[in-house]
Amino acid sequence: MRDDYTAFADNSLKELAVSKYDDDDLEVKAIEFLRNPENFRAFNHGLIELLKKKNFPGDLNNIFEMTDYLYERLREINSTVKKITVQSWFDGIHRPKIEPASRPRIYEICFALNLTFDEVIWFFHHVYYDRAFNCHDISEGVFYFAFLNGVKYPEALAIINDIKSSSYGPNDKEEAALVYTSFIKNRLRELHSTEELKSFIIQNKASFTVWNNTALQYINKFFFEITGDENTSKPVIQKIQHRLTHLNNKVKTIELNINDIDKCGLLVREIIFDAKFSHADKYEAEKLIDRLKSKNTFSQAFILENILETSSGLGKNPEIPYVVRLNFPSKKVLSEILNLLQSNTLKSYDAIRKTLILFHFYVFWCKFKLGDFSDDDGKLAETYREEADILLEECGYEPLYSGNPYDWVFLFSAFSGDCKNTINTFRDIVSSLLSELEEDY
């Protein structure tokens, strides 16, 4: 078991970025790195690291001793988790799923081991691979206060029960939608007693029924940039599609007006860019027919198939790291996220974060590919990572982390090879993962 996963993952990016592999070999190395379970921290390894941090008195090589220890600590806080489940965590047979139903178990582990606030953040981000403390949720807002102030689990549960059994405060839901997570976190940090905590949440109870607003705003913004304004670009696309439909089979190229093309969204612009012939206004007809003819360029399926070369996700192939394939942006996942009525209370932060990362990545690198901006200082990959981290922080998520295999794919694509090929590098990795899926099933 490694004890330096973060440094190891960061070094892997640096080493591959300066390697002399050609593009095909680099892709193979990336897939090999992703498929090696030793390269990313497994849940049982993270648990063992926690025990080490908390001065576990037993043998860190003895699964039964560690199981007994954690199980007893969980029983002390009246957790209902079974001993066989705890042992399966240490055995590496199972790990808590990255889904809303599992989050209470993760918090119970944190309370049971008396983790500090910073240790909780680390455990969620580096081991469980999900966001800690959704402070728009009553329970997690109370937990946020509890870990900051040393409040024990039973008392935290009692506070949550008191709050949930109370009536709504004066703020209505329209006002509540304007209350951002950063405000709630800052306010929770200012509170000094559990009575102040209960009063604050009860007075603003409606604010704890809606979340993910900032992330959804950005996802919709990026989606609009990718598809383009339908009223402006649809007539242009329909005109191109009409010409492609009636094109003589012997015609190899088609002339298009660059001013018309620039009215389209990024994805259609990229498709046309990739079909560019030697002359500035000529494009390969066959490529455009394959990718644009009779297509609904505004559909979610079209967007995903052309960004990822799949609209169904990565399936359940065990060769693909669980953290990558789970909630991998698919037509189903995207549909749920873009449906605002569901997403305002969609608790799958992992799915939203992954979609946010994907869309931002595509918009950033597609604009560069199309020449919307240049790499004047030769540090475009660093700029991308900085922008992505700022975006994720603003939306209440953890920054890109190379020790998370999903994040690693985007960071690898950004830092390896020619920046003009970043999108293609990413697509090649996804395509390779999909081809492995088809071969194994």
Three-state helix/strand/coil letters over 75-107 = HHCCCCCCHHHHHHHHHCCCCCCCCHHHHHHHH
Band (262; pLDDT cuts 50, 70, 90): very high
Nearest to 227 by CA among 272, 265, 189, 190: 265
- Residue 40 Rama label (left phi>0; alpha psi -120 to 50; beta): beta
For residue 11, is pLDDT > 90? no
For residue 332, is pLDDT > 90? no
Question: What's the one-letter identity of residue 188?
Answer: L
- pLDDT of the residue at 419: 81
Its pTM stands at: 0.89
Whole-angstrom Cα distance, residue 8 to residue 13?
9
- pLDDT of the residue at 439: 44
- Average pLDDT, stretch 217-230? 94
- Average pLDDT, stretch 347-364? 91
For residue 381, is pLDDT > 60? yes
The three-state secondary structure class of 346 is coil
CA distances to 72, 140, 213, 257, 291 from 346, in Å = 33, 15, 11, 43, 33
The three-state secondary structure class of 383 is helix
- Give 86's Cβ-side CA count (13 Å radius): 22
Whole-angstrom Cα distance, residue 134 to residue 208?
10
Q: Are 296 and 413 in contact (CB under 8 A)?
A: no
Mean pLDDT score of the chain, rounded to an integer? Answer: 87
- Average pLDDT, stretch 373-393? 90
- pLDDT of the residue at 323: 85
- pLDDT of the residue at 168: 60
- pLDDT of the residue at 204: 84
Band (340; pLDDT cuts 50, 70, 90): low
For residue 62, is pLDDT > 80? yes
Of residues 85 and 205, which shows the higher confidence score? Answer: 85
pLDDT tens digit sequence for 146-186: 999 999 999 999 999 999 998 765 554 444 445 667 788 88
For residue 347, is pLDDT > 70? no
Whole-angstrom Cα distance, residue 162 to residue 197?
11
